[in-house]
Structure 1
Amino acid sequence: AVYALKVLNKEDLVTTNQVLSTKTERRVLEVVNHPFIVRLHYAFETRDKLCLVMDFVNGGELFTYISRERGFSEDRTRFYASEIILALEYLHAMDIIYRDLKPENILLDRHGHIQLTDFGLSKDAMETQKTYSVVGSPYYMAPEILLNQGHGKAVDWWSLGVLIFEMLVGLPPFYHDNTRLGYEKLLTGAALEFPAGASPAAQGLLAGLVR
């Protein structure tokens, strides 16, 4: 078997304030076991390094394919989205909010299936509880995160809607060269412009997720 070794410098983790996110990622990966989530096989440390031995996923990031092809067909989008949904449902059943769904965190294996990776921003949360951390990536953060209103598992479904839109179009729905203006479009309730040629089913799904 071939594995990937993720090596983290302890001093760098402290300097960049990533100690908590690294501990979170290890804790989550130690308990999850799902075909569409990257698997942690071993974890060990040396005097100055933390090492995570994980699945070797050699297909590259979904981001690369979206950028190169500037959007996918609905059939291909549906295929990836269905696997992402299964992974999110599994995490939510374990009371884990992913909170960082974006193309860069989705890898493709040699068979073309997705592998969800990078769990540093994940959060343990019961269905009835809300968390108030402002975390995530631009354009993929739900409005309630940006407004610090408290959030739960629903933020992952909002991010899924953004990702589905991006898979169809090539860019997130509220994208702007100026990130601040992109946030303003998102928070002021700018109308969602559906992808050209999107089926009624796709439009209905996007309208339900990104609202």
Structure 2
Amino acid sequence: KETDQVFAMKILKKKYLIEKHQVDHTNAERKILMSLQHPFLMQLRYAFQTDSKLYFVLDFYKGGELFFHLKKMKRFSEDQARFLVAEVGCALGYLHSLDIVYRDLKPENILLDSSGHICLTDFGLAKELGGDAVSNTFCGTPEYLGLFVFFFFFLIFFQ
């Protein structure tokens, strides 16, 4: 059936995933994406593979990355910031209700639709934690680490 619907495609080379020990993260990302049903979270529409590559067919967000808009505007108004933070909070609340921890929150991983609503994307570092499970993994983007996190790990590793 022909439609005018546009999708995004994430293409991953299997060889690279194996070399970089990312197979488990990629499988977890696919599993998490398949379980999500929320307007502010990326939807995995299809997943398939060839001998050498994995393909994730995802929703396309015409507004692009929040990072682009922030760079262009320099700053958001208080109302804009409040709106964006509220939607991010709703998305994170939903994830937490599913015992999923989203560990790479940054403007590059927040997409905007044509109406200005957000969509969290890139679940490569997300983790499903059941019950009382904890995660001790230090991950994320160093440029976005809070100063207190940096000092905490500095104290732990350099004592």
TM-score, reference length from structure 2? 0.86
Contact preservation (8 Å) 1:61, 1:103: yes
Contact preservation (8 Å) 1:98, 1:122: yes
1:18 and 2:43 correspond: no
Q: Which has the higher contact order (CA 8 A, sep 6+)?
A: 2
Contact preservation (8 Å) 1:143, 1:187: no
Residue 51 (structure 2) aligns with: 47
Q: 1:13 to 1:185 in 2, by over 3 A?
A: closer
Secondary structure at 1:119's aligned position in 2?
A: coil
Q: 1:46 to 1:87 in 2, by over 3 A?
A: same
Contact preservation (8 Å) 1:107, 1:115: yes
Secondary structure at 1:35's aligned position in 2?
A: coil
**Correspondent of 2:108 among 95, 104, 108:** 104
Q: What are the superposed Cα offsets for residues 67-99 of structure 1, whole Å, 9 maximum, x if unpaired?
A: 222211110001111110110000000000001
1:138 and 2:153 correspond: no
Secondary structure at 2:70's aligned position in 1?
A: helix
Residue 79 (structure 2) aligns with: 75
AA aligned to 2:70 is I
**Correspondent of 1:123 among 111, 120, 127:** 127
TM-score, reference length from structure 1? 0.66
**Correspondent of 2:64 among 39, 60, 63:** 60
Secondary structure at 1:115's aligned position in 2?
A: strand
Q: What are the superposed Cα offsets for residues 22-62 of structure 1, whole Å, 9 maximum, x if unpaired?
A: 11210100101100001001101011110011101121111
* Unmatched tracts of structure 1, length 5 or more: 147-182, 189-211
Secondary structure at 2:86's aligned position in 1?
A: helix
AA aligned to 2:124 is G
- Provide the aligned length of Structure 1 versus Structure 2: 151
Instruction: Please provide the CA RMSD for this pair.
Output: 2.2
Q: Which stretch of structure 1 is more off in the superposition, 46-55 or 132-141?
A: 132-141
Secondary structure at 1:6's aligned position in 2?
A: strand
Residue 38 (structure 2) aligns with: 34
Contact preservation (8 Å) 1:95, 1:124: yes
Alpha-carbon offset, residue 143 of structure 1: 7.5
Q: What are the superposed Cα offsets for residues 91-129 of structure 1, whole Å, 9 maximum, x if unpaired?
A: 000000001111110001111110100001111114633
Matches of 1:186 and 1:61, distance apart in 2: 30
Matches of 2:76 and 2:131, distance apart in 1: 33
Q: Which has the higher strand share?
A: 2
Secondary structure at 2:142's aligned position in 1?
A: coil
Alpha-carbon offset, residue 185 of structure 1: 9.8
